[in-house]
Amino acid sequence: MRGPPVPEALTYQDVALQHDAATAPAVGPVSLHLCVGERVLLMGPSGAGKSTLLHAATGLFPVSIGGARHGEIVLNGRPVDSRRPADWADTCGYLFQDAAQTLAGFTVRDEIAFGPENRGVDPAEIHDFVALSMRRVGIPETWADRRITALSGGERQLVALAALLAQGAPVTLADEPAASLAPMAARRMAELLLAPGCTAMVVEHKPGPILDHVDRCIALGAGGRVMVEVPPRDVVERHGEALAEAGIALPLATRLHTAWPDLIDPRLPLSRALRRVVPAHADRLRAAILPDPIEAGPELVTLDRAACAPPFGPVVLRDVSLTVRAGEVLAILGPNGAGKSTLAGCLAGLVPLKAGTRKGAPGAVAFQNPEAHFSRESVRAEIEGLGHGPEVTGRILADWSLDRVADQHPFTLSQGQKRRLALALIAEAGRWPLLILDEPTAGLDGGTEAALARRIRELAREGRGIAVSTHDMDFALAVADRAVLLDRGGVEFCGSCPDLMRDRARLTRAGLLPPEAAPVLDWLDAAC
Amino acid sequence: MLTTLHPLPKLALCLALILASLVVFRLSFQILLFVAATLVLLIDARIPLRRLLLLMVPFALFGFGFFTTSVLFRAESGFAMQMAQEQGGGPDVAPGLVLFFRVLACGMASAVFALTTDPGRFVRALMQHLRLPAPMGFALLQAMHMVPDLRAELLQLRMARAMRLGRPLRRVPVPTEAISLAIPLLAYAIRRATRAALSFEARGLQRDGVRTTLPQPPMTRSDAIVLATGLAALLLTVWISGRLPV
């Protein structure tokens, strides 16, 4: 017997969205809906129009973001055009991709109070709203008077979440909310944002950690059309191959099942599925989660008892002794604000040390903000600026999947495309023996991330030394031979990357979580 | 003590100091005001002396123009003389010297406000008591956020360029580098401001909406006492300077 129909919180009916000056729609036409009390995961490759679709829900697109919309959007039973975008704040709350650039208040308290103030909440009650939201997110009370500018990127994202909760809108739209969060904070974010009974649509490039928290998954294809719309279990069981082909990152169990359908049952938790695997398959599983070994060459850069500080700032890391060799990939791991980006600058020799010594050739850093690397009028011009001939330029554009946007201005690319271009500019220059990639996977879809991992190993095989600063433990495990864990102002661990990933206690102390592949590591230990 | 004072009485007091500095053309008054403001910054606000001296540099350079023309070269500019005569300045002291200390006194009085006031609290006080429209207030706050972010962005741009050109990062950019960074930095500021405006709109900020504000610490009796004491001290300084020869 069917229950009563669940009202729809948000409906897109044949919606197509086209940005000003674009020649084709960014997304659509699509028809989809979000029911009251339903949690939907929206997936898709970079540039599929997911963010644009979210912006259109309250009319921000095309009222405030220039463009054209065809089709109808209904929010909470009313056409979206019937109110101004700001009026919908009582119904729909946003969590934006880059919290650092969208916070309004001067202090944490101001920021969280912003939503209730705009709603006209009784001033006497605003403090309670603020305190409750901080408690729910786990923000310490001592943060209330901290300036927003003094927070790290991940901390700002947590404050943005608290502000969203204080806003109290019944529908939540979140655009990659966990992209800059350490794993434990990301899990907390998913638990709060996608608690049972919440009405939420979340865009996420890495659906693995949140699949258990959603009721339905919608995947957009590269053309901005709905490709798959199914419950999460069907994503794993029936559509893994198609989604992987479209460049969407899938949970490890699904990827293993797609590669070896006879080996892994995707319906079981990975640790249970592995019990049925015989030890003879150890090499295949090892190759699936760990990088091919590369013989390390001479030392490229050495830090000895270094004190590292951001440019013109105070020391954040002390007594750092570290070596990167040719042919080696080093993962730099740590919680938000641990000093990973600072270490990246010091390793490259861009930022002078406050104490200690650095020996070795200069390195290049691919910054977190890819736009810092762009200085020319088109993607092609940027690549041509590396000084290669037309043939090599064409090859680089194709290798980094930038050929279709070669004539676009770099600033008009999607976040994933920008990051690919920035990495290509660093990696293909051939000038630096040491490359440091700062959060290289942020904003990348599954296909591009896998290609990046392969490219990193190729560069290491060519004799480059590579350091990767990341929150993504599985990516670190997939590319890095060694890992350095930063916490409490220093180096907490420096050694084999798989060894660190097995050390759950150490990771937990640093606010990190073991990778998705941890059960496979355990299985390999037991089998070999 | 000044840091805990309500921003609006403090603003009124600092404006009164600046106004007095503009209308009282006596060297002794300008020096007393300058010394008093500097002592407040050193003792009450605990600003390090080195930072204060650095802060004085632009004011001193500005005032130095008057000083050099009227004292070092013994040739008072017509402008300085005219100002001195209009405001009752005597011929026994170089007007350029008075103007030099006036610039320093005004600079330090502004610094007293700027260095002892929480900018967020100040903007909120303006919104709450002086009816500054909320979109304008939050735009001001956003501009304050943007200053350190612009500095970080500038640094990242400079590091990216230094890397590309294969040279170390200079502590201070040369003029050609500074000029070439202006456009990307401006583009960043525009994009940043656009994203912030979108976020504000999405979160319900609008010009004509009914809006409440987070309760702020109210003006207290001690604020009034400090304001009255400050004004009385100002009058006393005017009186004392009138008794001094210059």
Tens of pLDDT, residue by residue over B104-128, are: 999 999 999 999 998 889 999 999 8
pLDDT reported for residue A230: 86
Question: Measuring CA to CA, which residue among A400, A451, A405 is closest to residue A247?
Answer: A451
A128: closest chain B residue by CA? B214
B120 to A105: CB separation less than 8 angstroms, yes or no: yes
- Give the count of domains, chain A: 4
pLDDT reported for residue A2: 45
Please tell me which of the candidates B119, B124, B204 has its beta carbon nearest to residue A119.
B204
> Would you state the structure tokens that stand for residue A184, as one six-digit string?
């434990």
Pick the residue of B118, B150, B156, B206 with the most A CBs within 10 A to test the interface with A by mutation.
Answer: B156
A103 to B198: CB separation less than 8 angstroms, yes or no: no
Residue B55, C-beta contacts closer than 8 angstroms, at least 6 positions apart: B107, B111
A118 to B201: CB separation less than 8 angstroms, yes or no: no
- Contacts across the A-B interface (CB distance below 8 Å): 151
What burial class does residue A447 get, using C-beta atoms within 10 Å of its C-beta: 0-12 exposed, 13-18 middle, 19+ buried?
A: buried
Residue A151 belongs to some domain of the structure: yes
A86 to B201: CB separation less than 8 angstroms, yes or no: yes
Chain A residues whose beta carbon lies within 8 Å of the beta carbon of residue B120: 105-107, 110, 147
Pick the residue of B146, B150, B154, B163 with the most A CBs within 10 A to test the interface with A by mutation.
Answer: B163
Please tell me which of the candidates B163, B204, B211 has its beta carbon nearest to residue A364.
B163
A224 to A50, A53, B56: CA distances (angstroms): 8, 10, 58
> Would you state the structure tokens that stand for residue A6, as one six-digit string?
């669940």
Residue A189 belongs to some domain of the structure: no
Residue A253 belongs to some domain of the structure: no
Find out whether A151 and A185 touch, Cβ atoms under 8 Å: no
Chain A residues whose beta carbon lies within 8 Å of the beta carbon of residue B199: 94, 96, 101-104
Q: Do A336 and A305 lie in a common domain?
A: yes
Cα–Cα dist A89/A115, whole Å: 8
- Measure A343 CA to nearest chain B CA, in Å: 14
Q: Do A433 and A342 lie in a common domain?
A: yes
pLDDT higher than threshold 70 for residue B82? no
- Measure B42 CA to nearest chain A CA, in Å: 23
Residue A209, C-beta contacts closer than 8 angstroms, at least 6 positions apart: A178, A183, A186, A187, A190, A516
Residue A245 belongs to some domain of the structure: no
Please tell me which of the candidates B163, B199, B212 has its beta carbon nearest to residue A102.
B199
Q: Do A345 and A363 lie in a common domain?
A: yes
Name the residue with higher pLDDT: B208 or A84. Answer: A84
A367 to B153: CB separation less than 8 angstroms, yes or no: no
Cα–Cα dist B236/B214, whole Å: 39
Cα–Cα dist B206/A132, whole Å: 25
A126 to B123: CB separation less than 8 angstroms, yes or no: no
Chain B residues whose beta carbon lies within 8 Å of the beta carbon of residue A86: 201-202, 204-206, 209
Is A433 touching B (CB cutoff 8 A)? no
Cα–Cα dist A195/A38, whole Å: 10
The mean of the pLDDT values for chain B is 85
- Measure A276 CA to nearest chain B CA, in Å: 50
Chain B residues whose beta carbon lies within 8 Å of the beta carbon of residue A58: 202
pLDDT single digits (tens) B145-203: 888 788 888 888 888 888 877 777 777 788 888 887 888 888 888 888 888 899 999 99
Domain, as residue range, for A53: 1-91+171-184+194-232
Is A118 touching B (CB cutoff 8 A)? yes
Q: Tell me what percent of the residues of chain A surpass a pLDDT of 70.
A: 97
Positions in chain A short of pLDDT 70: 1-7, 180, 182, 236, 312, 528
Chain B residues whose beta carbon lies within 8 Å of the beta carbon of residue A437: none
Residue A237 belongs to some domain of the structure: no
Residue A205 belongs to some domain of the structure: yes
Q: Do A42 and A177 lie in a common domain?
A: yes
pLDDT reported for residue A298: 92
* Helix axes of B27-39 and B7-23: crossing angle, nearest 10 degrees: 160
Chain A residues whose beta carbon lies within 8 Å of the beta carbon of residue B166: 362, 431
pLDDT reported for residue B74: 59
Find out whether A248 and A445 touch, Cβ atoms under 8 Å: yes
Residue A470 belongs to some domain of the structure: yes
Question: Measuring CA to CA, which residue among A370, A322, A319, A352 is closest to residue A467?
Answer: A322
Beta strands A465-469 and A434-438 are parallel
Is A361 touching B (CB cutoff 8 A)? no
Please tell me which of the candidates B166, B169, B191 has its beta carbon nearest to residue A431.
B166
B199 to A367: CB separation less than 8 angstroms, yes or no: no
- Measure B225 CA to nearest chain A CA, in Å: 27
A126 to B156: CB separation less than 8 angstroms, yes or no: no
Ramachandran class of B213: left when φ > 0, alpha when ψ lies in -120 to 50, beta otherwise:
beta
Please tell me which of the candidates A101, A117, A163 has its beta carbon nearest to residue B195.
A101
A165: closest chain B residue by CA? B203
Q: Do A318 and A461 lie in a common domain?
A: yes
Q: Do A106 and A25 lie in a common domain?
A: no
Q: Do A279 and A325 lie in a common domain?
A: no
Q: Do A10 and A132 lie in a common domain?
A: no
B142 to A104: CB separation less than 8 angstroms, yes or no: yes
Please tell me which of the candidates B144, B155, B206 has its beta carbon nearest to residue A311.
B155
pLDDT reported for residue A278: 80
pLDDT single digits (tens) A465-522: 999 999 888 999 999 999 999 998 999 999 999 999 999 899 988 888 888 888 888 8
A123 to B213: CB separation less than 8 angstroms, yes or no: yes
A102 to B197: CB separation less than 8 angstroms, yes or no: no
Find out whether A462 and A474 touch, Cβ atoms under 8 Å: no
Residue A220 belongs to some domain of the structure: yes
Q: Do A333 and A384 lie in a common domain?
A: yes
Give bridge partners of residue A27 from the DSSP assignment.
Answer: A17
Chain B residues whose beta carbon lies within 8 Å of the beta carbon of residue A109: 214
Please tell me which of the candidates A98, A106, A365 has its beta carbon nearest to residue B163.
A365
Question: Measuring CA to CA, which residue among A50, A157, A150 is closest to residue A101?
Answer: A157
B134: closest chain A residue by CA? A118
- Measure B146 CA to nearest chain A CA, in Å: 9
Q: Do A73 and A116 lie in a common domain?
A: no
CATH number of the domain at A358, please: 3.40.50.300
Is A167 touching B (CB cutoff 8 A)? yes
pLDDT reported for residue B84: 60
Q: Do A67 and A200 lie in a common domain?
A: yes
Name the residue with higher pLDDT: A55 or B91. Answer: A55
Question: Half-sphere exposure (CA, 13 Å, Cβ side) for A63?
Answer: 18
Q: Do A160 and A19 lie in a common domain?
A: no
B157 to A348: CB separation less than 8 angstroms, yes or no: no
Chain B residues whose beta carbon lies within 8 Å of the beta carbon of residue A87: 204, 206
